[in-house]
Structure 1
Amino acid sequence: MAPTTLPPITSLPSLSENEIFGVLDLLFEPTSELRSLALPLIRSSSYFSYPDLISAIRTKLLEIVEQGTETPKLHEILGSHPRLGQPKQKSAEEEELSEQSKQEQKQLREGDQKEAERLAELNELYEQKFPGLRYVVFVNGRGRGEIMENMEGRIARGDLREEEREGVRAMCDIANDRAKKLLAASTN
């Protein structure tokens, strides 16, 4: 069973591999590629806070974007995020939508059918424009209209490297928000 709280950041390097993976899965969408990228960072450095750890992961992911040599690994990580406004489809290899994603996207699954159809259409257009990627954004309480406008702008821009950068930034913003909420919940 996956953990539901974060251990003290100073204990992270001494945890078992599976315990570290559980922590990563709380902060990020579960993916073996992110686990293999983050594990050496966690084992080789000390962090004073979860934002410090997430910043190190962000830096490593942005290095991968700039090098352009590990695109499949990067796309696997970014593609682990569910489509906005839709429950993640469960397959033999996938878990269902994480509890964090359910809460973060709650308002995107509410609203009229026409908006839901447009959001599904934009998800499809985005994935056609950027094969291997999923649209990733830190929703942060924004509604469908604002998110769809952002999506349309990013599709129109058509810049793959910038999409990879935006996806990494959003993924890490989401992780920071999750860490903040999990740490606040554990002190109550």
Structure 2
Amino acid sequence: MSLPAISETNHLPLSGFTKVISLLFEPTALLTQRIYDSRPFESYDDLLDCANKHIQDLSPLEQLEVVNAHPRIGENANNLSALSRAEQGIKSANEDTVLARWAKLNREYEDLYGFRFVVFVNGRSKEELFPIADSRIAHGNKSQELTTGLAEMVDIARDRARKLQATPACNSSPKI
């Protein structure tokens, strides 16, 4: 799987553009449409800068829609995109215990803030992320947490773009 050249992405119809954006972000029609309407882009970095600006300009309710499109850490692998599954793929010897703790942390976080916990996993195991979730539950506030979660989503998208642009293109482009 790789990203098409940005020049190609700039000329895709909305349906094809949506497939490309869905490789970078968990799909939301709202954000995709805003990015689509801002074309053309000089690079994927430019596209992601634009996406970040649009995210910041969304209403709080719209920001909730965007952050809640992101999967929960420890969610059933069948409910994850291929990229999320790979990013969350570092398994533990005691996976059942780890997943049970993530289910509890996700419930606590969502009960406290009203939206999903998002963190840039960046190759870390699910256990390594426990202290981050614990700290954000104990010390955050709703506004700051929403800002943090949205920033983490952009970091994830930047990492995906970097990896997908580095992937050899031999027959691995998404079918647009």
**TM bracket, shorter-chain basis:** 0.7 to 0.9
Letter in 2 for 1:169: A
Instruction: Indicate conservation of the 8 Å contact 2:2/2:169, yes or no.
Output: no
**Unaligned residue ranges in structure 2 (runs of 5+):** 171-176
Task: Report the TM-score when normalising by structure 2.
Answer: 0.87
Residue identity matched to 2:65 = E
**AA at the equivalent of 2:62:** K
- 2:37 is matched with 40
Instruction: Name the CA distance, whole Å, in 2 between partners of 1:79 and 1:37.
Output: 17
The reply to whether residue 77 of structure 1 matches residue 59 of structure 2 is: no
Query: What's the TM-score once normalised by structure 1's chain length?
Result: 0.82
The alpha carbon displacement at 1:5 in A equals: 2.8
Whether the 8 Å contact between 2:35 and 2:47 is mirrored in structure 1 is no
AA at the equivalent of 1:78: V
| 1:177 aligned partner, one-letter code | D
Structure 1 unmatched ranges of 5 or more: 65-69, 90-95
89, 112, 124: which one pairs with 1:129?
A: 112
**1:47 shift after superposition:** 2.2
CA shift digits 1:8-62 (9 cap, x unpaired): 11232321111111111111111222222222122xxx32221221111112212
In the TM superposition, residue 187 of structure 1 has moved relative to its aligned partner by 4.7
The match for 2:46 is: 52
Which structure has more relative contact order (CA 8 Å, sep 6+)? It is 2
Out of 19, 27, 31, which is 2:28 matched to? 31
How many residue pairs get aligned? The number is: 169
Runs of 4+ in 1 over 6 A off after TM superposition: none
Please give the alpha-carbon distance, in whole angstroms, between the structure 1 residues aligned to 2:148 and 2:77: 21
Match of 1:62 among 56, 62, 76: 56
